[in-house]
Amino acid sequence: MSAFEPGVMTRAKGTARRGDFRFWTEEKLRNADTDQFRHVNNAVMATLFEAARMEIVAQASIRALMRGANLAVVRLLIEFSAELHFPGRVEVGSTVVEVGKTSFRVRQGLFAQADDICRASAEAVCVLVHGETGRPHPVAPELRAYLLADEDRETLA
């Protein structure tokens, strides 16, 4: 059984753990990321999640598997569990939980580097969109294998 049940973003609000994620991105928080109360703004957290999703396909070898397609997020759900403050660094974990014909679903957790508290969780559905036609583009078998590979298995990266 997966750490996540189908249709449910997390086991319980704020209980995502670092071990739930395969891909990791580190980001530095900036003063400009805060609101008047010195909290990191919710919109900034969405940007941090986006940066982490793009890291999944950033390597040239993986971009080649996309065959000229780009990613479009067609669904994004974020649950905010705990405040995040400047200054600091965050780590965003991501894992692909499902791959369809032209899309894949990513679950994510945002952690302050100083502790293991999941400050926010996200789930995004990303569609491959052909760069020239703007139409959904099939996920190549090699890309599917990379996205769903276990940590212990050799990946294409």
Number of folded domains that form the chain: 1
Please give the helix or strand (H or E) that residue 147 lies within, else none: helix 141-148
Domain for residue 79, yes or no?
yes
pLDDT reported for residue 16: 86
Whether 35 is covered by a domain: the verdict is yes
In a domain, 144, yes or no: yes
| pLDDT tens track for 25-84 | 999 999 999 998 889 999 999 999 999 999 999 999 999 999 999 999 999 999 999 999
Residue 101 within any structural domain of the chain:
yes
Residue 155 lies in a domain: no
Q: What is the mean pLDDT of residues 135-147?
A: 97
- Read off the pLDDT band of 3 (50, 70, 90): very low
Residue 37, pLDDT score: 86
In a domain, 63, yes or no: yes
Residue-range definition of the domain harbouring residue 65: 18-148
Could you count the other beta carbons within 10 Å of the beta carbon of residue 23?
Answer: 20
In the DSSP assignment, the letter for residue 96 is E
Strand ranges, E, within 42-132: 69-80, 89-99, 103-112, 118-130
* Residues in CB range of 8: below 8 A, 6 or more apart: none
The pTM assigned to this predicted structure is 0.84
Whether 108 contacts 93, CB under 8 Å: yes
Residue 75 is part of a domain; what is its CATH number?
3.10.129.10
- The tokens for 47 are 């940007």
pLDDT digits (tens, 9 = 90+) for 73-131: 999 999 999 999 999 999 999 999 999 999 999 999 999 988 888 999 999 999 999 98
> Does residue 100 fall inside a structural domain?
yes
Q: Residue 21's CB: how many other CB atoms inside 10 A?
A: 21
In a domain, 22, yes or no: yes
Q: What does the pLDDT read at residue 150?
A: 64
Q: Distance between CA 96 and CA 105 in Å, rounded? A: 6
